[in-house]
Amino acid sequence: MDKAQIIQKINKLKKEKNAIVLAHTYQNIEIDEVADFSGDSLYLSRQAAAANADIIVFAGVYFMAETAKILSPDKTVLLPNLSAGCAMADKINAAQLREFKKNYPSLPVVCYVNSTAEVKAESDICCTSANALNVVKSLNAKEVLFVPDKHLGAYAQSQIEGVKVITYPGFCPVHHAITVDDIKDKKLLYPDAKVMVHPECPDAVTQTADFVGSTTAIIKAVKQSKAQEFIIVTEKGVVQRLERDCPDKKFVLINEKAVCETMKLLHLEDILRSLENNEYEIKVDEKIAARALKSIDRMISINA
27 binds ligand 13P (CB under 6 A): no
214 binds, among ligand SF4, ligand 13P, none (CB under 5 to 8 A by kind): ligand 13P
Q: Which of 263, 268, 275, 288 binds ligand SF4 (CB under 6 A)?
A: 263
Count of residues that bind ligand 13P according to CB under 6 A: 11
Contact 96, 120 (CB under 8 A): no
Contact 201, 233 (CB under 8 A): yes
Helix, strand or coil for residue 239?
helix
252 binds ligand SF4 (CB under 6 A): no
Contacting ligand 13P within 44-83 (CB under 6 A): none
What is the nearest approach in angstroms of ligand SF4 to the Cβ of residue 260?
A: 3
| CB-facing half-sphere around the CA of 51: CA atoms within 13 A | 29
- What angle (nearest 5°) sits at the alpha carbon of residue 181, between those of residues 178 and 183? 70
Nearest Cα neighbor of 237 from 188, 187, 174 is 174
Q: Which of 38, 128, 167, 206 binds ligand 13P (CB under 6 A)?
A: 128
Question: Which residues lie across from 212 on neighbouring strands?
Answer: 197
> Which residues, including other chains, have CB under 8 Å from residue 4's CB and lie 6 or more apart?
none
Q: Which residue's CB is nearer to ligand SF4, number 85 or number 108?
A: 85
Q: Which residue's CB is nearer to ligand 13P, number 107 or number 156?
A: 156
Q: Which residue's CB is nearer to ligand SF4, number 203 or number 229?
A: 203
87 binds, among ligand 13P, ligand SF4, none (CB under 5 to 8 A by kind): ligand SF4
157 binds ligand 13P (CB under 6 A): no
- Taking residue 181's Cβ as centre, other Cβ atoms within 10 Å add up to 9
- What angle (nearest 5°) sits at the alpha carbon of residue 160, between those of residues 292 and 48? 30
Residues of the shown chain interacting with ligand 13P in the complex, contacts defined by CB under 6 A: 40-41, 86, 114, 128-130, 172, 200, 214-215
